[in-house]
Amino acid sequence: MPAPINRLKHALGAGEMQIGLWLNLGDVTTTEIAGAAGYDWCLIDGEHAPYDPVTIQNQLRALDAAGGAAIVRVPVGEDWVIKQVLDLGAQSLLVPMVDTVEQAASVVAATRYAPEGKRGMGAAVARASGYGRIADYASNINDEICVIVQAETRLAMQNLDEIAAVEGVDCVFIGPADLSADMGHRGNPGHPDVKAAIADGVARIRAAGKAAGILHYDAGNFGYYRDLGVKFLGVGSEASLFRAAIHANLDAARDAVKD
């Protein structure tokens, strides 16, 4: 039996819109709820949320049980981090701060077994292969790993054509928050210069034949990014949605009982 087919990878390759949610709370119950909601993917944010290998593994289990497709954002694109997350069972990765073609190529190589790459052969005793139950895991897993690299600096945008052209990169995700800060507009990803840079970046990613991604919290902008050609669309975080719902509930209650 080979490794499972990666639905997200194949959908992005086919040019299908994939809508997803960031997971920042580190709580398996909220992850289970999100995973069952029907998002095309949910992202376990190992860069900015309280995750370690054990909690990432538990998040993957919760999403598997709920039927949701999982992505893990690793904290850094180091070989040992990528190897560990893949052995935990992740098949889709988002790697932050990829600024050069050399970094992008190294990230892809870290996700592939030799001779195509340099991933260590340890999955036979790890969750990725069902602790050996998926006996032919290594036979096809190179083809089922989805690699999403994150362009979020001016340097990355300068190198975007070369980064997007790397074989094995499935999607280039533009990080608007860090990009706007690097461009001198911290806290203002909607600045005209930032929007222009993102629009140009999406066009260049598409020209390379790869999927373009973005994260935005305002539903009023989702159609704009669709029209740009974004196919990997993050529409919020469970932490932000929870906060907004809590405040809305309290405001409604206070309005209902005020004199």
- Is residue 52 within 8 A of residue 91, CB to CB? The reply is no
76/56 Cα distance (integer angstroms): 15
Q: The tokens of 177 are what? A: 């928050």
Please list, in sequence order, all residues whose beta carbon lies within 8 angstroms of the beta carbon of residue 1, skipping any fewer than 6 positions away. Answer: 133, 134, 135, 136
End-to-end CA distance of the chain: 67
Q: The tokens of 37 are what? A: 């909601």
| SS3 call for 230 | coil
Q: The tokens of 18 are what? A: 């994939």
- Is residue 179 within 8 A of residue 196, CB to CB? The reply is no
Is 191 among the catalytic positions? no
Look up residue 250 and give its DSSP letter: H
106/36 Cα distance (integer angstroms): 34
Catalytic site residue from 48, 185, 191, 216: 48
The residues annotated as belonging to the active site are: 48
